[in-house]
Structure 1
Amino acid sequence: MHTRLLHNDPQGLATAAAMLRAGGLVAFGTETVYGLGADAGNDTAVAAIYTAKGRPGINPLISHFASADAAFEQVEATPLARRLADRFWPGPLTMVLPRGTHCGISTIATAGLPTAAVRVPAGQTTQALLAACGFPVVAPSANPSGRVSPSDAQHVLAGLDGRIDAVLDCGPCRVGVESTIIDLSRDVPVLLRPGGITLEALEAACGMKLALPAGSNDARPTAPGQLSSHYAPGLPVRLDARSVTPDEALLAFGPPLPGSALVWNLSATGDLHEAAARLFAGLRFLDMEGHRRGLVGIAVQPVPGHGLGRAIRDRLIRAACPRP
């Protein structure tokens, strides 16, 4: 299969939408990361995503919509869900809700669960593509399963060239980490995955404290991003480094530690928004260049756990977990 690189123009958008309508796989940029898109109601297309990524079939997918009204046609929307949609959509928030009576999302996409994960992404190109399709589009991160998420079109091609139909080049992603996932199908809302919307902002909008998951769920995840090993480069990752050896690359935050000749600084000024936007590109660069130089691992300086730092640390912890 030849993977086409489509330009972000009317012709590229029309081609991408036509491919998705025909059951193809098209990667496209959102405000978070690049997603690998397929028609959420097409069992064959959804199954092809799992094959292209090498993704476990137990790991559900997020369905993307052009509007909140379209999303709530597929799931049972609670008053809290509508309030959060008014506050955060379009944007990097995913809600897990019970499937509606007439839900057309493939049960393959929901991994057979009675719930579905839905969101309305931001971005003019993404919105235009979803509107042109006229149906929900499942779009997990456009990379081989478990590896570092892509934040530009070239990252997608590096991992999936020849496995998918096309990539719509939407430029670099603004947020840089995946959407926050909140489970609203239970009595108490649960934060399943930290992401582009902070826990603090969510709790303020909900007017209550959110429950937090007990840990990773490798046996039966209820949403993406819950597997213990995820977002992983090839080189092993060492967290909260207070020193670095000459045979390690350094993922810095703030003033870099001395001792490494290969450094990627998430943010020299300690800005968490900048750090989130640069996280996956940094892991990719250090992994590729570190392998080329014969380095043995990636040391990561401490990142605070508040605000967007919670999402950054979540990704780093999973990147550091031994791969199965």
Structure 2
Amino acid sequence: MAKRPDTIETTLLAIELLRRIPRRRKITARELHQQLSDAGIERDLRTIQRQLEMLCNHFDIECDLRSRPYGYRWLEDARGISLPQLTPQESLLLGMAQAHLTPILPARLMKSLSGLFNQARRTLDPHRGGNSKLEAEWPDKVRVVATSQPLLPPHIAEGVFEAASEALYLNRWLKIVYRNASGKETQTSVMPLGMAQQGPRLYLVCRFEGYHNERSLALNRIQHASVSTFTFVRPAEFNLKQYHDDGRFGFGEGQMVHLSFDIDRAAGFHLIESPLARDQTHREIDGNRLTFSATVVDSAMLSWFLAAFGGAVSNIERRPIPATSSAE
């Protein structure tokens, strides 16, 4: 008689499979195998298939045998598995995290966490009362507010965000049809290197096939996207933080300048509280004027920032700072 595989590893594998089997659609063994592999859980496909057969015999999970590959899902009225209950505080944190992380985390990762998010929502359901009442009220007591005129997010074509985040997550080439601001469409492949949210817009930082410089593409201008089967080695020299620090999202090229300007005290006083840079200095010219100086990245965004003050700002100077040589 074969020894029963009652090990910690087998139990953990069963739990991971139970967590990933959906209720509203069917999932194949190969898809589950890929999900586990992406999560760092390496098991061969046959092991996954044997585990699924065992789970179907012990849980309310159905296997659609009508065609290959077989599909698995929880039965409609199944209770699923019971995991430790989230505390109201944990539920509050998860709910706020979901709201802010959805635009920037891989779609597959957000889907894998859907069970936790659903449990958090149930815990904070105001109709359930109890100890979660105060936590349920908290999201209505806090708000992230815009620093400029609020804009609605542009429409992103169906499947584009999911494909872009998937390719970024898996280091795979992304096939796209891109329409620029003038309406010209380009069909090409890009190497996704990063994703950023700027106000209501999402941008994909990438390299076009055959090129070695980075570009930022607005996701809403991608008309269609699909994940290629070809992978790439992520360039060691690319750093998303440095790309941001160089002002590339502000339409700059990394040129540092020593900025100085005069401004009416009423218009510029907030810059004393929220400086432009760590080396910023200021002094009063007279009772109603201030002069500021700081080292910043020169960019179109900086120009727009200064232009917004209109006649309140004057004597603007930008002195380029030579880049530090690698020999120094």
TM superposition score category, shorter chain reference: under 0.3
- The structure, 1 or 2, with the larger RCO (C-alpha pairs under 8 Å, 6+ apart) is 1
Could you tell me the TM-score, scaled by structure 1's length?
0.26
Could you tell me the TM-score, scaled by structure 2's length?
0.26
Q: Which of the two has greater helix per residue?
A: 2
Which has the higher Rg, Structure 1 or Structure 2? 2
Q: Which of the two has greater strand per residue?
A: 2
